[in-house]
Each structure stands twice: as structure tokens, then as C-alpha cells.
């Protein structure tokens, strides 16, 4: 089957955050796509809706089997069922990790720029926050190992990793992830690896994704790996994710923090996740081909029409990270809001003012319209 990603779909007025939070603006901000999800997922939801009863739900055997198949095919690992915790999303998992492993006076650590909740979830508990900037080496953003060693303290208890990295689009190599895991082990940190974008690597031969699940046993025991079909198959609004936690003690501490604060996972999301993992691969491959085309068009457009903006090379996701400091304005996102009516993600929320994030997960014609508005506003 061939899927058409060029079809425009009206989303304004449907109660979606992307279009209805600021309906007067043209949105290229929050990380969801303007594509209908895979037909197999929609069909699975219809079948579940036709059942007619939507009581409290739990992961059914079909989902468990689909996760087993997915982890074996895409990550090359077999995970015992007891190591998997089902969740209603990954941001709550970041918060749970901070509350589970940090007491008052202790700290979370992460590298910036990074998805905003990474630098906000410490407020949910008693933890402090340590951040270290990624450093650009030969045109590629990497970990600043020396700065990380200088920043970490005995009071640091958790490291939050985003891999593939949002917003940089980096796919960290096996060597980088292993070195980071050893850094965490040496300093007695729990490594929380958010891998929500791992199925959106644009060139898996050039930059294969290396999961924390693939680490050597002695390093993997100190990890929490967070996964979800939500970004890849555009089902974020259904709210499903899962954590893989090999160590029983870490798993129990993490799970205990859920308490009574997290809502039940909804009955539909389990079936959408099963369909994504079991039947969604053909759709995903065509999506990746389309996104590669969008990314190439975006890079060429910015280079030709917006010389004051530099594009960070992207290896994954449908999010472009743009260095707009050359524009000479205090707030580039605000500039494009006022001059072009665009809603873009402000780099300040990721820890790097002067940068912007542009979502190109949309029909190509729409993406080019947004880029044209940016060019005219310059």
C-alpha cells in the first residue's frame, strides 16, 4: 500500500494544542505531525470502539506480544515482561525518576539544549538541576565530557538523556551512549534514557540508533529506558508509553512514586500501540522517506533564502533546530510571530535563547509556505 503524505487535513477547531492554542498563528511548533496515522491503527481503534465498553483497562496479551516483537526486531533485545512498566506518557516518567531517586539537596543532571520538560521536572520534587551545554565539534554537537566531569557532584543522582536528541536531532553512537553509561556508573547515577524518537532516524545505516537496552549487562542494570509509539505514528494524544527497568530495586522505587498521582491509561491507547508495533512498519518506512525529502527541501531553502540562519544537521526526528542568532534580534521566535504570523518553538525554553525549532512533519507544500513566510519576514 502507498500512503499519501501530501494530503492536507484541517486540524483547526478540533481541540488540538498545535492549532487551537494560538488559532491566529500558523503553527510549526509542538512535536506532532499533520499526517493521519497509519490505517491499521485507525482500524484497530474502530474495532475497539465498536465493542462499546470503555472501563478501566490494562495491557492485554496482544500488546505484550507486539512489544516483544518490536523490541526483538528494532532493538535486537528480549526483555522479560516483569521489567516493563506501562505508562500514560514519558514526561511523567521523567518526573517519577526525579522523585524516586533524589532527596532534598540532591540533583538531576542533563545536557542542553533539550526538550523543555527535562529542565523543568525537578520542580515536581525536592531535586535541584545541573545542566551542561552540548558542544559543537566539527559541525556536530557532542557531549562536553570535561564540563560534565566538572559539574557532577556526589549529590547528583540521575542523568536524563534524550536520544535521539530533541531538538538537536543527534543520534548518539554506541560509543557515546556507552561512555555516558560508564560516566553514570562511575558517579552512581541512574541513567534515564528517553528514546521516544528512536523510530524516526532518517538514515539508519549512517547513524544507527543505539539503545540503552543494548548496553552491557553491568551498565544496563543502572538504566531506565523510556519508549513509546506516540511520536512515530502520530498518536501522542492517546497517551501511551512504557519503561524498561532491568534492576528490581530501581524498578520498585520508580513504580512506588506513581502513588495516586497518575491517571489510568485509557482503554483505546493500548490497542493503538499494539497496531503500531504489529502492523505499522510499512507506514513508518514511507513516512521516513517523506521526511527525508522534507528535510532536504528545508535545508536547501534556508541555505538559499535565509543566510542569517544556520541549520543544525539533523539525523532524526521531524524537528529542525535553527541557529537564528545571526538575525540580530533579541527573540527570533517572537520576531516571526509578529512579522509573519508564525508559531515557532522558542529556543529559550530548551535552554538556548536565540535559537528556534521548526516542525517539518507536515505536507511539503505547507512546510514550504511556512518557510516562505519566514524568508519574507527577514
Q: What is the pLDDT of residues 31-73, one digit of tens each?
A: 999 999 999 999 999 999 999 999 999 999 999 999 999 999 9
> What's residue 361's pLDDT?
98
Task: Find the helix packing angle between 281-305 and 364-377, rounded to 10°.
Answer: 20
Rounded to whole angstroms, the Cα distance separating 48 from 46 reads 5
Run of H or E residues at 375: helix 364-377
pTM score, whole prediction: 0.97
**Residue 170's closest CA among 344, 346, 312, 290?**
312
Beta strands per DSSP E along 195-282? 223-227, 241-244
Which pLDDT value is given to residue 259? 83
DSSP 261-279: TSPPPPHHHHHHHHHHHHH
Answer for the pair 239, 266: CB distance below 8 angstroms, yes or no. Answer: yes
CA 164 to each of CA 52, 119, 169, 208: distance values in angstroms, whole numbers, following the listed order? 38, 17, 6, 10
Tens of pLDDT, residues 190-212: 999 999 999 999 999 999 999 99
Residue 222, all three cell numbers: 543502572
List CB contacts of 364: < 8 A, sequence separation 6 or more. 6, 290, 293, 294, 297
Task: Give DSSP secondary structure letters for 309-343.
Answer: -EEPP-SBSSEEEEE-GGG--S-HHHHHHHHH-EE
Any idea of the CA torsion for 205, 291, 175, 227, to the nearest 10 degrees? -120
Residues of the chain with pLDDT under 70: none
**Digit-coded pLDDT (tens) for 145-156:** 999 999 999 999
* Cell numbers representing residue 212 in the block: 540503552
Predicted pLDDT at 23:
97
Report the mean per-residue pLDDT for the chain: 97
Domains of the chain in start order, with CATH, are 17-38+281-377 (3.90.1150.10), 44-279 (3.40.640.10)
Sign of the dihedral defined by the CA atoms of residues 359, 117, 228, 133, in that order: positive
The owner of cell 549529590 is 155
Q: How far apart are CA 344 and CA 334, in angstroms?
A: 8
Residue keyed to cell 506513581 = 258
What's residue 34's pLDDT? 98
Distance CA 81, CA 11 (A): 38
Angle at 317 between CA 336 and CA 196, to 5 degrees: 120
Cα torsion 102, 107, 110, 116 to 10°: value is 80
Give burial (CB, 10 Å; 0-12/13-18/19+) of 289.
exposed
Amino acid at each position: 500500500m502507498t500512503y499519501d503524505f501530501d494530503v492536507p487535513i484541517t486540524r483547526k477547531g478540533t481541540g488540538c494544542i498545535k492549532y487551537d492554542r494560538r488559532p491566529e498563528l500558523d503553527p510549526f511548533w509542538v512535536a506532532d505531525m499533520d499526517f493521519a496515522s497509519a490505517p491499521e491503527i485507525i482500524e484497530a481503534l474502530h474495532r475497539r470502539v465498536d465493542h462499546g465498553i470503555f472501563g478501566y483497562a490494562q495491557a492485554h496479551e496482544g500488546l505484550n506480544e507486539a512489544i516483544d516483537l518490536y523490541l526483538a526486531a528494532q532493538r535486537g533485545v528480549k526483555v522479560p515482561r516483569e521489567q516493563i512498566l506501562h505508562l500514560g506518557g514519558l514526561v511523567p516518567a521523567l518526573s517519577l525518576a526525579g522523585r524516586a531517586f533524589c532527596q532534598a539537596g540532591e540533583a538531576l543532571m542533563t545536557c542542553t539544549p533539550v526538550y523543555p520538560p527535562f529542565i523543568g521536572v525537578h520542580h515536581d520534587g525536592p531535586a535541584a538541576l545541573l545542566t551542561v551545554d552540548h558542544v559543537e565539534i566539527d559541525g556536530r554537537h557532542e557531549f562536553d565530557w570535561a564540563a560534565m566531569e566538572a559539574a557532577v557532584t556526589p549529590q547528583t543522582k540521575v542523568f536524563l538523556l534524550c536520544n535521539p536528541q530533541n531538538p538537536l536531532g543527534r543520534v548518539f553512537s554506541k560509543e557515546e551512549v556507552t561512555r555516558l553509561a560508564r560516566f553514570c556508573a562511575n558517579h552512581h547515577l541512574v541513567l534515564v534514557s528517553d528514546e521516544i524518537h528512536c523510530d524516526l532516524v532518517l538514515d539508519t545505516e549512517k547513524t544507527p540508533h543505539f539503545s540503552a537496552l543494548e548496553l552491557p549487562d553491568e551498565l544496563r542494570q543502572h538504566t531506565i529506558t523510556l519508549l513509546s509509539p506516540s511520536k512515530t505514528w502520530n498518536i501522542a494524544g492517546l497517551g501511551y508509553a512504557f519503561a524498561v527497568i532491568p534492576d528490581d530495586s530501581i524498578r520498585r522505587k520508580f513504580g512506588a512514586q506513581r502513588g495516586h498521582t497518575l491517571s489510568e491509561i485509557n482503554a483505546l491507547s493500548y490497542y493503538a500501540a499494539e497496531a503500531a508495533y504489529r502492523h505499522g512498519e510499512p507506514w513508518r518506512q514511507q513516512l521516513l522517506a517523506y521526511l527525508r525529502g522534507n528535510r532536504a527541501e528545508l535545508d536547501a531553502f534556508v541555505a538559499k533564502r535565509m543566510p542569517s540562519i544556520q541549520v543544525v544537521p539533523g539525523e532524526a526526528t521531524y524537528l529542525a533546530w535553527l541557529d537564528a542568532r545571526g538575525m540580530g534580534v533579541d527573540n527570533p521566535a517572537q520576531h516571526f510571530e509578529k512579522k509573519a504570523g508564525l508559531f515557532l518553538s522558542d529556543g529559550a525554553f530548551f535552554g538556548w535563547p536565540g535559537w528556534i525549532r521548526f516542525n517539518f512533519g507536515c505536507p511539503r507544500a505547507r512546510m514550504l509556505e511556512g518557510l516562505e513566510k519566514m524568508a519574507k519576514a527577514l
